[in-house]
Amino acid sequence: MGEPRSVLVTGANRGIGRTIAERFVASGDKVATIYRSGELPDGVLGVKGDVTDTAAVDAAFTEIEAAHGPVEVLVANAGVTRDGLLMRMSDEDFETVLDVNLTGAFRCVRRASKGMIRLRRGRIVLISSVIGLYGGAGQVNYAASKAGLVGIARSVTRELGGRGITANVVAPGFIATGMTAALPEDTQATYKAAIPAGRFATTDEVAGVVHFLASDDAAYVSGAVIPVDGGLGMGH
Ligand code: NDP
């Protein structure tokens, strides 16, 4: 275990973000979250805020930095879906998903970069989705937002790669969360048949990859899209 780092995971109250936050707590880091609702895991400093609100993001970073020091590891995890067929998708459903998933990540990356540049080190991990590059019927908004994260990570890599900062994308496939458990049995079976691994992933399997990307061992990995999808999206 090295020196504890200041780690920020957005949306750590549930799902994948929660497990990622727990993983960093377990490795001795100082973990904080910007979250909207719910309860947080033990040992996580929570600041209420919405990633669609620039002032709230800035204020949350200021509070987190005062408690834990400059954010050295940023995991942009907060995300939403508003699925619907293209012809019927409203501007609002498109824009809301972009605002949370893509612009929300941008707001956090921009704010985190200040401290990382000063520190001359940093790890940025953006939680995308297999859908970003694979596409998804009824998910034009979600796929666009998740594909956009690749552009952010690669541009940040070109801009800040010389300053000890890496930026990578993790693209999970189907993860066993409340959302996937709620799918009917036969729908779950159809999805599983398309996944070479033949099963959904656990949130721990995503958290482990994020943790690796934030580690010293991943110092030379940047601008990469790491699938955690059991082979579903192979060939991206
Ligand atoms: P959940 O729906 O369980 O959790 C989403 C999290 O994002 C919640 O903490 C939620 O807060 C937070 N959030 C949403 N909108 C905002 C906002 N405007 N400001 C701050 N926080 C917000 O999702 P998962 O854990 O399943 O997904 C986490 C990430 O992983 C997402 O980016 C998702 O797109 C991605 N992903 C998930 C997959 C899956 O199979 N589950 C597959 C591929 C990618 P609140 O509780 O207040 O709503």
CATH code assigned at 167: 3.40.50.720
Q: Is the C-beta atom of 13 inside 6 A of ligand 1?
A: yes
Q: Which residues contact 93 (CB under 8 A, 6 or more apart)?
A: 82, 84, 141
Q: What is the pLDDT of residue 183?
A: 80
**178 pLDDT tier (thresholds 50, 70, 90):** confident
Establish if 68 belongs to a structural domain: yes
pLDDT for the residue numbered 1: 60
- Ligand 1 atom with the smallest distance to the CA of 172 is 43
pLDDT at residue 191, rounded to an integer:
86
For residue 81, the ligand 1 atom closest to its alpha carbon is 34
10 alpha carbon – ligand 1 mean position (Å): 9
Q: At 127, is the secondary structure helix, strand, or coil? A: strand
Q: Classify residue 187: in a domain, yes or no.
A: no
Give the pLDDT band of residue 188 (cuts 50, 70, 90).
confident
Residue 34 within any structural domain of the chain: yes
Domain that holds residue 169: 6-175+203-227
Residue 235: pLDDT over 90: no
- Confidence at residue 181, expressed as pLDDT on a 0 to 100 scale: 80
Amino acid code (one letter) for 156:
V
Q: Does any domain span residue 193?
A: no
235 domain-assigned: no
The per-residue pLDDT for 184 is 85
Contact 131, 146 (CB under 8 A): yes
DSSP 8-state code for residue 201: B
User: Would 180 be classed as within a structural domain?
Assistant: no
Total number of domains constituting the chain: 1
- Token pair of 222, please? 């940047």
Contact yes or no for 128/150 (Cβ under 8 A): yes
- In a domain, residue 234? The reply is no
Q: CB–CB of 16/171 below 8 Å?
A: no
Q: Residue 219 Cα, ligand 1 centroid: separation in angstroms?
A: 27
User: Is residue 133 assigned to a domain?
Assistant: yes
Percentage of the residues of the chain whose pLDDT score is greater than 90: 92
Tell me the mean pLDDT in the region 144-170: 98
**Strand ranges in the chain using DSSP code E only, listed in sequence order:** 6-9, 30-35, 44-48, 73-76, 122-127, 165-172, 225-228
Plot region of 218 (φ>0 → left; ψ -120 to 50 → alpha; else → beta): alpha
pLDDT band at 182 (very low <50, low <70, confident <90, very high): confident
Structure tokens at 103: 């612009």
14 C-beta closer than 6 A to ligand 1: yes
Nearest CA to ligand 1 atom 4: 15
